Structure 1
Amino acid sequence: MKIYIDADACPVKDIIISEGTKAEIPVVMVTSFSHFSNAEQPSGVETIYVDSGADAADYRIMKLAQRGDLIVTQDYGLASLGLAKGCTVLHHKGFIYTSENIDQLLQTRYLSAMARKGGKRTKGPKPFTSEDKEKFRELFIKIISKNE
């Protein structure tokens, strides 16, 4: 198992790196060059930089990910592709994407996009809370513990 992070806007990278390296699971952060950092990463953590174009990180993650890998993303499209490839896919707010919930999430995203295109205002995502972070930590540890 490898852990892939759609890392540009992921607020739980610290948890993933800490718990992933503790469990000796390789962590791969995929991020755009616009987020370049010289920061030293712990052993077992790799950063892959991609162009800043829309979906560049998603395409790279899908090229690298294999059945049984873990992907962390807030992107429903990437989540859908990851599920189809046999990966476990988590959202940073602490829920797991499944074949049962992904269609509803994609449909809601589509309807919101159509409403915005039609000039309507839609609500953005709720703010990320410390409760969300703790919920993610618990789910993440549960998922990677199954791998040990």
Structure 2
Amino acid sequence: MHKERRLFVDADACPVKKEISQLSTHFPISLVFVASYSHFSIERTQEWVFVDPDKEAADLYIVNNVKEGDIVVTQDMGLAGLLTHKQVYVLTPHGNTIREKDMPNILNKRYLSYKQLAQGNRIKGPKPFTRQDRDNFYNALEELLNHLY
């Protein structure tokens, strides 16, 4: 018997909600989308938790409710940094697995980017999300869920 796992989705700007919903039906996992009230919609089939629209409200909800062995899908590396040391599986919408050992480098790059912005310099934004990114995510999540179950 597997311990009950939950898959939390930092849902406000998540481009792979459909893929997560499709895959989760094949595994005994509880799916929880977390979004701000500003993204409220009555058209939803899974569990949604709506939080205040404050900048870090969804992150705080996830950090306070996640347990070891749960999965979180996020593109927020600050949130990822708070989760990896809790033995939570962190996956980006591009299909990258974030590990504790990766965090110092990731957070350093983030710091340097913010420093450039603060100095008035322009930095490259994210590349457009592609079909390949979507496929990479689907395959990575499927592989992780197959490994866990």
Q: What TM-score, normalized by structure 2, do the two folds share?
A: 0.94
- C-alpha displacement of 1:32: 0.2
CA distance in 2, matches of 1:25, 1:14: 16
Q: Which deviates more, 57-66 or 21-30?
A: 21-30
Unmatched 5+ stretches in structure 1: none
The alignment-based identity, stated in percent, is 38
SS at match of 1:22: coil
| Structure 2 residue matching 1:121: 3-state secondary structure | coil
Match of 1:13 in 2: 17
Once the two structures are superposed, what CA deviation does each residue of 1:47-105 show, in whole Å capped at 9, x if it has no partner? 00001111100000011100000000000011011101110000001110012222111
Give the secondary-structure state (helix, strand or coil) at the position aligned to 1:2: strand
How far the C-alpha of 1:131 sits from its partner, in A, is 0.4
> 1:24: how far off?
2.7
Gaps of at least 5 residues in structure 2 are: none
- SS of residue paired to 2:91: strand
Which amino acid in the other structure matches residue 112 of structure 1?
A: S
Structure-2 separation of matches of 1:104 and 1:125: 18
Match for 1:23: what amino acid? F
Corresponding residue for 2:139? 138
Give the drift of 1:18: 0.9
Corresponding residue for residue 23 of structure 1? 27
Is this contact kept in 2: 1:71–1:89, CA < 8 A? yes
State the AA in 2 paired with 1:77: G
Residues 21 and 27 of structure 1 are in contact (CA less than 8 Å); yes or no, is this contact kept in structure 2? no
- Runs of 4+ off more than 2 Å: none
Would you say the 8 A contact 1:93–1:133 is kept in 2?
Answer: yes
